[in-house]
C-alpha cells in the first residue's frame, strides 16, 4: 500500500468539487481525504496500490459539473496511520 498526495489547481473551490470527489473516491474504495488549501487549490490524499493512481487521477479530473481542473500533480508521500474512510476535511 502506498499513499499519494495530489494537488489540484483550477476552479476547484466553491463549486462542490470536494463533495463530488469524496463521493466518487469512496464509491471506488479509496481511503483518504480532500481539503481546500489557502492558495485556492485542493489537496487530495489517498492510500492505494500504485496501479490505481490513474483511476484516482480520473476522479480528480472529473470533479464536479462546475469545476474546471487545470492541473493535477501527484507524489508519493510517507505512509503512516491508515485511513478508514474518504472524507472532506474542513
Contact 64, 19 (CB under 8 A): yes
Q: How confident is the model at residue 6 (pLDDT cuts 50, 70, 90)?
A: very high
pLDDT at position 82 is 94
The values of phi and psi at residue 3, to 5°, are: -120, 135
Distance CA 46, CA 10 (A): 20
- Would you state the cell numbers that stand for residue 58, as one nine-digit string? 480520473
Instruction: List domains and CATH numbers for the chain.
Output: 2-89 (3.30.70.100)
Could you list the active site residues? 18, 36
**pLDDT tens digits, one per residue of 33-83:** 999 999 999 999 999 999 999 999 999 999 999 999 999 999 999 999 999
3-class secondary-structure state, position 50: helix
Dist CA 17 CA 14 (whole Å): 7
Amino acid at each position: 500500500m502506498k499513499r499519494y498526495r495530489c494537488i489540484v489547481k483550477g476552479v476547484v473551490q466553491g463549486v462542490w468539487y470536494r463533495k463530488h470527489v469524496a463521493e466518487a473516491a469512496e464509491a471506488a474504495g479509496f481511503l483518504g481525504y480532500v481539503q481546500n488549501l489557502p492558495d485556492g487549490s485542493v489537496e487530495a490524499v489517498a492510500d492505494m496500490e500504485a496501479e490505481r493512481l490513474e483511476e484516482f487521477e480520473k476522479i480528480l479530473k472529473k470533479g464536479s459539473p462546475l469545476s474546471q481542473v487545470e492541473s493535477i500533480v501527484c507524489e508519493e508521500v510517507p505512509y503512516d496511520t491508515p485511513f478508514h474512510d474518504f472524507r472532506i476535511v474542513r
